[in-house]
Structure 1
Amino acid sequence: MAEGSQAILSALDDARTQKYHFKAIVIAGMGFFTDAYDIFCITAVSRLIGRLYYYDPVTGKPGTFPNDIKNAVSGVALFGTLAGQLFFGWLGDKLGRKKVYGITLVTMVGCAIASGISFGSTAKSVIGTLCFFRFWLGFGIGGDYPLSAVIMSEYANQKTRGAFIAAVFAMQGTGILVAGIVAMMVSKAFLLAYPADAFSANHVLSTQPEGDFVWRIVLMFGAVPAALTYYWRLKMPETARFTALVQGDPKKAAADMAKVLETDLTVAESSAKVDPNSSYGLFSSEFMKRHGTHLLGTCTTWFLLDIAFYSLQLTQNDVYPASGLLDKASSMNAIEETFQLSKAMFLIALAATVPGYWFTVFLIDKIGRFMIQLGGFLMMSICMAILGFRYHDLRGEKCKGSATKDFCHGHTTLFAILYGLTFFFANFGPNSTTFIVPAEIFPARLRSTCHGISAAAGKAGAIIAAFVFQKYTQEDKKIKEVIIALSVVNMVGFLFTFLVPETNGRSLEELSGEDNDFGDIKVPETEMV
């Protein structure tokens, strides 16, 4: 790498942490907050939708989704996300991170609102339009994955790069938490406005108008945080690394970097051309030699992680009754069930999901990505193995009908603790690191594309979770086998982690092996740390 090129990139790596770094975290993080909210809020309201639109018209008893319909409602956004990750990841390397960033946000805002106004005169038509809009919602969400990760990695300094990217991803936990809060607040508001004794637990027609408002409001709220950050996304400058290493314009890169570092930078008028011999493509033998194993490692670990993570996340409304966190549906009306379900979702997120993300933020630059991912997979596997093999004991089934109620309660409490620990070590583990590492180890001109491919591999795992594993969690006798299988999946992820290098303490250019030639840049030493 030429001296001038080294200067501009070293300025980014060595820059002190300052206000703009935190601003970038908030801007990129709010997108991820919206992503998580939009994907997982469906968990809180899917049972409500099923009870409203699939009730028995003869008896008036609450209905449930047919398995294929339920899987479609929960999982269709994942298909859109996978497509969006591939498309926008590629587009981010072609047009630039900033240009594509606004498109994804507009897509999310529009489709979140459209999901809430899903229309139709029959259950089939309402669910059909809901699935249509959630697919395109997922498409916009998919673009946010590679772009948010890459923008943050290219803005960050070397010392705290892992923490900055992890902080962006930690907003996923906050999005899950808020999805539970919003669903709780909306359902509680309707319960207060329409007292519970006005509803019948079994006669769903009495809750039809009110319940219809509940799920629509919850889904549409996802447009709010995305809309609030749109202006600031448009104001973000293009990353200096993309401008210098991909576009070959160090003068503009220095100007953009000056805005980030709050300092003046000057560029010599010498030519700035990218060495064509170093510009190997994604499908070239040179890429496979340098990064083929890396891409295999990031894809397989993300794929395996998402099978386990989304199996747990999307099937919470089936697992909660087993853990004692949720009463049987027959004892509650549709809106009350939504409140109780979202409350359980909120408690798990607050106690286990969110802390896991922030443990990663604070420790990733101290102990490294590799150890966090390895330890996370191992602990997830152990927790899920205990949950699986002792499933019936932990549910307290052996003492049903006996007088030892406290003993039974203790078992279900342990079930909830182990279930929460699985989420904790997913987030203080591979759910965070699989997002971070692909944004660090690939060349700038392929970074967004490779991150998108890795993320899409993860969503392929999530689709398997939604359409294969979720089907079996609806059968009580199958939940045990599913949890044991997921424990094995985590152990396979543990093994594939050895394909992924440690990136802590190394610059992006060192990790990717980039060697482009640019003009000279003078960096004021007083502004460097």
Structure 2
Amino acid sequence: MASHSISVLNALDNARTQWYHVTAIVIAGMGFFTDAYDLFCISTVSKLLGRIYYFNPTSNKPGKLPHSVNNWVIGVALVGTLTGQLVFGYLGDKLGRKKVYGITLVLMAICATCSGLSFGHTAKSVIRTLCFFRFWLGFGIGGDYPLSATIMSEYANKKTRGAFIAAVFAMQGVGIVFAGLVSMILSKIYLSNYGGLPYKKERVFSTEPEADQVWRIVLMLGALPAILTFYWRMKMPETGRYTALIEGNAKQAASDMGRVLDIDIQADQERVAQFHAANEYRLMSSEFFRRHGRHLIGTMTTWFLLDIAFYSQNLTQKDIFPTMGLTSKAEDVSALREMFETSRAMFVIALLGTFPGYWFTVAFIEKIGRYYIQLVGFFMMSVFMLIIGVKYDYLKNQDHKWTFAALYGLTFFFANFGPNSTTFVLPAELFPTRVRSTCHAWSAASGKAGAMVGAFGIQNYTQDGNVHKIKQAMIFLSFTNMVGFLCTFLLTETKGRSLEEISGEDGGGYPETQMTGKNPDHSRAEHNWEDDDSRAYG
């Protein structure tokens, strides 16, 4: 049974790109904008928190968050994100994408606001309250990963599906840029009110009275895009694929998608029932692992390995930012000036290195393909990290700052024009409708586990700033990227094919596992599909 025998699936696969697709990208993408802003803005205010709540009057140094406290403040949202991915991914398959899609935004809006309202009688109570709300903020963010990817993949046509999913994820880059920009603007405004630049000598060591307001405003502004998007997200109908193939309601699916695409679609209730009956195997069944186990291992391992490296890339920030003249020593600037410089550095790196890579993926994913973009990205990240690791002493020298900056920026560029984007796209395409959200969630959660290895394991190892340890860590990260390169061979190209053909739901067995790295545009007539059918269904 071919997927094109069901009218609603055929209509979705072959629909012309229209305004509704753009609207869906914006609605789903604004969730990722919020996700990125909320996750990354904490980096711009964490030093400010140390200045405010951990200043020791007897010390001759600015206040600083203890290492363990800093880990909790930055890392607790990652723990929440991993948990949210697993929970909402499962619910997205069991209850429907739309039913739980709005919950994630509500949770993000409430917890972003409450994070900024973290109060307490002592420094510890403030930080504990902040960590509590950032865990639940991460929980909501985690739900956005599988739901946004799945919804976009099930709405898109097969010719531009990869670009649409990548565009949703690319809003993460916009969110990172805005996290730096907003923090930079706010700190600059308060600095001007406080006395402007340059500082008087007696103010250098100070923490401005307004500093406690600044970090709270930065965190609370993360609620704004979630609030603005909620109404439009609730107006989106359930995806036609879920309504037809999981709920078995062909009439409702045809009505919803017909209204969205502005065409008449036949219900095909009998064909939908047959399709549903042919794909009833469970997620943890031997049938699932026979058909899709290799791909699930591939998506989980590559995302895990990528995030070890991606979340460890700030190992060298303490050296590259001062080398480029973007930041000063903490002892030489006031609290808000330090925040301004940290935010400015983050903004520059994100705008020039991180941001372009996302949109290169959007532009070229349907031309080059997911598979080759991921291979090239992992390989180039490995090369650049190896060079940084081997030549770290040389690159730290002021005379070689542009070489250092170029290598650092290119590592970010090829992460995003590479596996950081494709690991998000591929799990939304490779798996059957009935388990698509859950499999994407497992893959994403595996990535967040890698992020914790990077954020807690590798960065803890190098926390003393020992150059030899940093060199070892960078060489190790180069190795993990090469392992990610090799694990990519477990996957396959998905461009130009319907979701049902890729997953084998259309009765084609599991041909995608036999086509790793091959051109997916070969016609079905070039392969003995009848043999595959007999193997799949006995």
Q: Common fold, TM-score beyond 0.5?
A: yes
* Counterpart for residue 513 of structure 1: 504
User: Gapped runs of 5+ residues in structure 1?
Assistant: 397-407, 517-529
Distance in 2, matches of 1:487 and 1:84, equals 30
Say whether the 8 Å CA contact 1:323–1:415 is kept in structure 2: no
What are the superposed Cα offsets for residues 419-465 of structure 1, whole Å, 9 maximum, x if unpaired?
A: 11111000000000000000001000100000000000000001111
| Correspondent of 1:476 among 455, 459, 465 | 465
* Counterpart for residue 172 of structure 1: 172
Say whether the 8 Å CA contact 1:71–1:471 is kept in structure 2: no
Amino acid at match of 1:341: T
The reply on whether 1:434 has 2:435 as its aligned counterpart is no
Say whether the 8 Å CA contact 2:315–2:470 is kept in structure 1: no
Say whether the 8 Å CA contact 1:324–1:413 is kept in structure 2: no
* Counterpart for residue 258 of structure 1: 258
Amino acid at match of 1:230: F
- Give 3-state SS (helix, strand or coil) of 1:440's partner: helix
Distance in 2, matches of 1:319 and 1:476, equals 13
Amino acid at match of 2:372: M
TM-score by length of 2: 0.90
Give 1:416 deviation, angstroms.
1.4
- Give 3-state SS (helix, strand or coil) of 1:280's partner: coil
1:240-279 mapped onto 2 (5 Å cutoff):
240-267=240-267, 270=270, 272-273=272-273, 275-276=276-277, 278-279=279-280
The reply on whether 1:414 has 2:409 as its aligned counterpart is no
Q: Which has the higher contact order (CA 8 A, sep 6+)?
A: 1
Question: Which deviates more from structure 2 when the two are superposed, residues 60-69 or residues 133-142?
Answer: 60-69
Change (3 A) 1:313 1:269: same
Distance in 1, matches of 2:269 and 2:417, equals 47
Give 1:278 deviation, angstroms.
2.6
Distance in 1, matches of 2:284 and 2:106, equals 32
Say whether the 8 Å CA contact 1:62–1:202 is kept in structure 2: no
* Counterpart for residue 13 of structure 1: 13
- Give 3-state SS (helix, strand or coil) of 2:431's partner: coil
Change (3 A) 1:383 1:315: closer
Question: Which deviates more from structure 2 when the two are superposed, residues 138-147 or residues 314-323?
Answer: 314-323
* Counterpart for residue 396 of structure 2: 395
* Counterpart for residue 33 of structure 2: 33
Say whether the 8 Å CA contact 2:47–2:339 is kept in structure 1: yes
Say whether the 8 Å CA contact 1:34–1:226 is kept in structure 2: yes
Give 1:268 deviation, angstroms.
5.3
Say whether the 8 Å CA contact 1:60–1:202 is kept in structure 2: no
Say whether the 8 Å CA contact 1:318–1:473 is kept in structure 2: no
Say whether the 8 Å CA contact 1:84–1:142 is kept in structure 2: yes
Amino acid at match of 1:157: N
Distance in 1, matches of 2:79 and 2:324, equals 30
Say whether the 8 Å CA contact 1:201–1:330 is kept in structure 2: no
Distance in 2, matches of 1:272 and 1:14, equals 18
1:201-212 mapped onto 2 (5 Å cutoff):
203-204=205-206, 206-207=207-208, 209-212=209-212
Change (3 A) 1:341 1:435: same
Question: Which deviates more from structure 2 when the two are superposed, residues 329-338 or residues 436-445?
Answer: 329-338
Distance in 2, matches of 1:310 and 1:269, equals 47
* Counterpart for residue 496 of structure 1: 487
Amino acid at match of 1:73: V
- Give 3-state SS (helix, strand or coil) of 1:216's partner: helix
Question: Which deviates more from structure 2 when the two are superposed, residues 259-268 or residues 277-286?
Answer: 259-268
* Counterpart for residue 367 of structure 1: 368
Distance in 1, matches of 2:122 and 2:364, equals 51
Change (3 A) 1:33 1:309: same
Amino acid at match of 1:90: Y
Amino acid at match of 1:506: R
Give 1:322 deviation, angstroms.
5.6
Distance in 1, matches of 2:13 and 2:357, equals 27
Amino acid at match of 1:241: R
Give 1:10 deviation, angstroms.
1.3
Question: Which deviates more from structure 2 when the two are superposed, residues 318-327 or residues 341-350?
Answer: 318-327
Question: Which deviates more from structure 2 when the two are superposed, residues 149-158 or residues 306-315?
Answer: 306-315
User: Gapped runs of 5+ residues in structure 2?
Assistant: 508-538
Distance in 1, matches of 2:500 and 2:288, equals 15
Amino acid at match of 1:441: L
* Counterpart for residue 353 of structure 1: 354
Question: Which deviates more from structure 2 when the two are superposed, residues 258-267 or residues 182-191?
Answer: 258-267
Change (3 A) 1:314 1:8: farther
Give 1:276 deviation, angstroms.
3.9
* Counterpart for residue 97 of structure 1: 97
Distance in 2, matches of 1:235 and 1:350, equals 33
Give 1:323 deviation, angstroms.
5.5
Give 1:316 deviation, angstroms.
4.3
% same residue: 64
* Counterpart for residue 521 of structure 1: none
The reply on whether 1:302 has 2:293 as its aligned counterpart is no
RMSD across aligned C-alpha pairs, in angstroms?
A: 1.8
Distance in 2, matches of 1:319 and 1:468, equals 21
* Counterpart for residue 522 of structure 1: none
Say whether the 8 Å CA contact 1:60–1:203 is kept in structure 2: no
Change (3 A) 1:56 1:358: same
Distance in 2, matches of 1:65 and 1:484, equals 28
Say whether the 8 Å CA contact 1:25–1:168 is kept in structure 2: yes
Distance in 2, matches of 1:306 and 1:412, equals 26
The number of residue pairs the alignment matches comes to 502
Distance in 1, matches of 2:478 and 2:403, equals 18
Amino acid at match of 2:419: P
- Give 3-state SS (helix, strand or coil) of 1:346's partner: helix
TM-score by length of 1: 0.91
Distance in 2, matches of 1:4 and 1:427, equals 34
Distance in 2, matches of 1:269 and 1:388, equals 60
Say whether the 8 Å CA contact 1:442–1:450 is kept in structure 2: yes
Amino acid at match of 2:109: V
